[in-house]
Structure 1
Amino acid sequence: MQNSILIQRDSLRGYANFVSVLLSRVTVSAEKKATYPYVFGVQLSHRDDKVSGRRWITEVGLRQENIGKPIECSILLKTDEVSAKVNEPIQVTRPKLVQQLIQDCSPIGQTPGVSVKRLDQESAMAFLHEVEREEREHPITLISCDRDGAYPVDLERLRSILVGLSDVVAVPVSVDTFAIEEIVGRRYIAFGGAINVIFPSRKGDRGWFCETVLFRPSEISDFHAEGKKVESEVLSAITHRTNLPYSWRHISPEMVNQAVLRSQLAQMLERAKDSNNSEELGDYIALLESADQELLTKDAELARIRIEYEEKEHEARKLQADIANLKYALSGRQASEDSQDDDVVEALAPLRESITAVLKGIPSLQQALELISSLYVDRIVVLDSAINSAKESDRGGFRFGDKAFELLSKLANEYWQALADGKGDQHAKAAFGHNAYAQNEGQALSGPGKQRRTFVYHGKTFVMEKHLKSGVKDSLAETLRIHFEWIAVEQKLVIGHCGKHLDF
């Protein structure tokens, strides 16, 4: 069973007090027997129980080519507003009817999202083959867990929402994601509670490329803070790209009407030709044949328009793939100065603000941290936990952003260079002078204290006792601790915390 889902909302509930209209149509013979291909369509429309001027329309279409063949099912749920003044936001989700069909019917193997799949080191190569398979038509939604083994969304809930649209693949907490990344590549992996949506492959001038939409843990936290549902945001990102092509495949009531009309025309032509008065009915037969030919011509014209659109869409995707490949190859380097692309300007705006703040000597802690991360992308990795701790200090009135930038700059330059040259930590720490660097906490860490200094990078846990320090008060405004770890194999420094002093 194939299932196309467009703009979605929760299942219909309690609309007995509102006017509803139910329409259906089916292809049957004059004797009321099913004819093949068998096509059925039903449409239910009703008013919204909360938003005045909004009407909900649900369509279900079925097609079966012959007895015993799989039944293709498509479901469309859309709204119809009486005017532009009806602008209440729509919560994107899927109707319960989809889940009921999955539970009560027997979906064929090609239906995506029937079960949650698992990605580990043993299945990584098969996962990569599926990602890059040219025939793949549906997205893959990859979900990782945080260091405590918690996923950002209930796996079964997300699977039930994406069934028919996307496969759902989970990365267990016990696997070595660093090893998996070496097989599938960084573009097709997710870490630390992130969600990565991998769309079907597209061919560009530089080869095949899969577009991705990455939901980072910090972005997911913002969804929760804003009262948004993570599964709805993921579904929205997917349907934004799948709605149009799926709408062409939807078995709509109009499509059923056309099938019924063609069947009736064929039956009338057959009866007219077999009639004893066929010569007298010559004009009638010609009229029927003309109507039939007109329908075929309209179908051919519609198919031609769709092909032209798909070719243009393919070309646009191809160009986007080339752009994405170039961006990936540049590894975050700044675009050419003559580029005035709005996306580039928007991306550079925070960087400009951070540089201006540093030059004025008044950067926030978050600005200092993100600027170093942007300037030294090949040397410094800033975890989401570090960004969050910097935000917390800024909310607490942190006043020494210039000092923080100085320490971070030395970390990314002199300290990193010494370690990259193989000189060891004892030599490298001289970059900070006295009292600004500590190799450990100077006392045994308790269970909670050790946990607070434990961070996950590429699926591995690191107790980051090495830290830079400024201030001794228990104050968000005056005290700074930057906990980090040197990853020799990558020659990168990973910052797990940048903010207040962590309790022991």
Structure 2
Amino acid sequence: MLVYANKFIFEPKNGTEQIIQLVAKWVGQRAKQHVDAERLAEGIRELRLKDGSTLTSRATVSVDKKATYPYVFGVQLSHRDEKVSGRKWITEVGLRQESAGKPIECSLLLKTDEVSARVTDPIQVTRPKLVQQLIQECSPVGQTPGLNVKRLNGESALAFLHEVEREEREHPIVLISCDRDGVYPVESERLRSILVGLSDVVEVPASVDTFAIEEIVGRRYIAFGGAINIIFPARKGDRGWFCETVLFRPSAIVDFQAEGKRVESEVLAAITHRTNLPYSWRHISLEMVNQAVLRGQLARMLERAKESDNSEELGEYIALLESADQELLAKDSELARMRSEYEEKEREARKLQADIANLKHALSGRQASEDNQDDDVVEALAPLRESIAAVLKGNPSLQQALELISSLYAERIVVLDAAISSAKESDRGGFRFGDKAFELLSKLANEYWQALADGKGDQHAKAAFGHNAYAQNEGQALSGPGKQRRTFVYHGKTFLMEKHLKSGVKDSLAETLRIHFEWVAEEKRLVIGHCGKHLDF
């Protein structure tokens, strides 16, 4: 079973020698005997250690034991499980360096090998202690996730949302909150040390107003009350981007602890379930090192054979060597092709999962079966039904009008959490013109959207609203705070939304409406950032 896989880029002062010395020290501490780092670097066919574990290593070195570049090194330590009979643990470390002085790629892999299907004892997911020693002493590059615990507060909330929705983000973000007494379910620094290289860890300080942060980042991307939220990288489907999340509620965390499980192990398990396979493909295994060593030997033998005075007599020998080399290359190519096909299917599966998630949020085209109703869908449909009924009666709230349009036109309209929050604020202030708001939003999603989708431009599209209901900008210079109030983040990009629909001129939550939006041409979507009161200049 694959338990843990990870990859780092290090820039240690003493190069690969420093990393191999740390590996030798780590193995020696575990086995309680000295392990010669120089011998490990040169290659060990199989060494039986005092504790019964087995150590093997290979490296691309010359006849005189000097490193040859690109340098590749692999080591494997296997030992029996001290508590579970029939289970063996295998730890592998691989190194690759293109030339002397260059950064070093280091991959680690931890797996178990069971003697039969009868070995069913559960595994508590962990990472090798060697990881933390490498991080402390081998200078990981700056972009390595999890090098420091970050903080989420009012000042960093917008930057946090930008990072969450950044399309290029490749690693998860783990958000950890405290309970009412300021106690975290696991120490943030401990969690960071477990997840380093795999995920960033962001702590919500006890003193911050989580409700205010939720207004900025949205409920999906927040954690409070002692919960832990894992936010995976964004996936793109036909209906837009979506970030999958895994939320560990306080009640679930209490259950983990009651069962003797460590919280950090459960979080690590949730992450490695998605990251192990791709990292294992990029792992520098002993088999890969053996192939590199064999290639080097073949190349040297071919060179010597071609330079020999008896090259004509060795023609058949040379042909066999070249054939063996071509066979190795062909196998590498076939393996790369199979992995590429799998990755393509995996991307397609993730795309479909993103579409499914977005469809669940949009709730478009879903009908509950009379005989076997999905409770989640029925629960989600309830407010949608209420919104439709309110529109038919002519008295919807502003939030109902906004959410109904976003559900009916999910492929055309994206409503940011900030817009929902501003609509809620107006409703709390007694907003009285929900029917007018629905009319404007309906024209935005239909005539206006259609004109832009047909490439007719804003001047033509704005005719959908008639006179005085649409403004391309604010008509006066905006101050710094004024620009900030009209600036919103969508999929990691910042938009200044001056275009807006308007109704009413009073400084009143009950009678005035402003709907600020922007056209995202590459997605053919209108993004609404604000729907509520008039924003100050």
User: TM-score range with shorter-chain normalisation?
Assistant: 0.5 to 0.7
Structure 2 counterpart of 1:32, which letter? K
Distance 1:334 1:187 in 2: 23
Structure 2 residue 367 is matched with structure 1 residue 336:
yes
Instruction: Report matched runs for 1:14-413 at 5 Å.
Output: 18-330=51-363, 336-338=367-369
Distance 1:149 1:334 in 2: 44
> Once the 2 structures are TM-superposed, how far is the Cα of residue 167 of structure 1 from its aligned partner?
0.8
> Once the 2 structures are TM-superposed, how far is the Cα of residue 316 of structure 1 from its aligned partner?
0.6
Question: Does the 8 Å contact 2:107/2:283 carry over to 1?
Answer: yes
The residue matched to 1:231 in structure 2 has which SS? Answer: helix
> Once the 2 structures are TM-superposed, how far is the Cα of residue 420 of structure 1 from its aligned partner?
7.0
Question: Does the 8 Å contact 2:31/2:53 carry over to 1?
Answer: no
> Once the 2 structures are TM-superposed, how far is the Cα of residue 229 of structure 1 from its aligned partner?
1.2
> Once the 2 structures are TM-superposed, how far is the Cα of residue 183 of structure 1 from its aligned partner?
2.6
Report the counterpart of residue 457 of structure 1 in structure 2: none
Report the counterpart of residue 459 of structure 1 in structure 2: none
Distance 1:335 1:292 in 2: 57
Report the counterpart of residue 413 of structure 1 in structure 2: none
> Once the 2 structures are TM-superposed, how far is the Cα of residue 224 of structure 1 from its aligned partner?
1.9
Q: Deviations over 1:43-100 (max 9, x none)?
A: 1111111111111111111111111211111111111111111111111111211111
Question: Does the 8 Å contact 1:143/1:171 carry over to 2?
Answer: yes
Aligned pair in 2 of structure 1 residues 339, 310: CA closer, same or farther (>3 Å)?
A: farther
Question: Does the 8 Å contact 1:4/1:164 carry over to 2?
Answer: no
The residue matched to 2:243 in structure 1 has which SS? Answer: strand
Distance 1:197 1:167 in 2: 10
> Once the 2 structures are TM-superposed, how far is the Cα of residue 14 of structure 1 from its aligned partner?
6.4
Structure 2 counterpart of 1:233, which letter? E
Q: Deviations over 1:148-179 (max 9, x none)?
A: 22211111111111111111111112223233
Question: Does the 8 Å contact 1:29/1:35 carry over to 2?
Answer: yes
Equivalenced residues, count? 354
Distance 1:74 1:327 in 2: 38
Structure 2 counterpart of 1:240, which letter? H
Aligned pair in 2 of structure 1 residues 284, 334: CA closer, same or farther (>3 Å)?
A: same
The residue matched to 1:197 in structure 2 has which SS? Answer: strand
Distance 2:359 2:76 in 1: 46
Distance 2:225 2:385 in 1: 20
Q: Deviations over 1:345-403 (max 9, x none)?
A: 5868xx9xxxxxxxxxxxxxxxxxxx9x9967999xxxxxxxxxxxxxxxxxxxxxxxx
> Once the 2 structures are TM-superposed, how far is the Cα of residue 325 of structure 1 from its aligned partner?
1.3
The residue matched to 1:84 in structure 2 has which SS? Answer: coil
Structure 1 counterpart of 2:72, which letter? V
Distance 2:385 2:157 in 1: 26
Structure 1 counterpart of 2:149, which letter? V
Question: Does the 8 Å contact 2:149/2:203 carry over to 1?
Answer: yes
Structure 2 counterpart of 1:167, which letter? D
Distance 1:27 1:268 in 2: 15
Distance 2:80 2:371 in 1: 46
Question: Does the 8 Å contact 1:196/1:213 carry over to 2?
Answer: yes
Q: Deviations over 1:282-334 (max 9, x none)?
A: 1111111111111111111111111110111111111111111122334xx99
Instruction: Report matched runs for 1:401-480 at 5 Å.
Output: none
- The 4+ residue runs of structure 1 with deviation greater than 3 A are 3-6, 10-18, 338-341, 344-348, 373-379, 419-423
Distance 2:318 2:247 in 1: 60
The residue matched to 1:250 in structure 2 has which SS? Answer: coil
Distance 2:160 2:307 in 1: 59
Question: Does the 8 Å contact 1:5/1:77 carry over to 2?
Answer: no
Distance 2:220 2:361 in 1: 9
> Once the 2 structures are TM-superposed, how far is the Cα of residue 340 of structure 1 from its aligned partner?
10
Structure 2 counterpart of 1:243, which letter? N
Q: Deviations over 1:439-480 (max 9, x none)?
A: xxxxxxxxxxxxxxxxxxxxxxxxxxxxxxxxxxxxxxxxxx
Q: Deviations over 1:401-424 (max 9, x none)?
A: xxxxxxxxxxxxxxxxxx97969x
Structure 2 counterpart of 1:132, which letter? E
Question: Does the 8 Å contact 1:141/1:169 carry over to 2?
Answer: yes
Aligned pair in 2 of structure 1 residues 334, 213: CA closer, same or farther (>3 Å)?
A: farther
The residue matched to 1:52 in structure 2 has which SS? Answer: coil
Distance 1:235 1:44 in 2: 22
The residue matched to 2:95 in structure 1 has which SS? Answer: strand
The residue matched to 1:102 in structure 2 has which SS? Answer: helix
Distance 2:184 2:71 in 1: 43
Distance 1:328 1:345 in 2: 14
Bigger Cα displacement from structure 2, 116-125 vs 293-302: 116-125
Question: Does the 8 Å contact 2:5/2:272 carry over to 1?
Answer: no
Aligned pair in 2 of structure 1 residues 375, 14: CA closer, same or farther (>3 Å)?
A: farther
Structure 2 counterpart of 1:175, which letter? V
Structure 2 counterpart of 1:72, which letter? E
Distance 1:378 1:167 in 2: 40
Distance 1:376 1:248 in 2: 46
> Once the 2 structures are TM-superposed, how far is the Cα of residue 201 of structure 1 from its aligned partner?
1.5
How high is the TM-score relative to the length of structure 1? 0.64
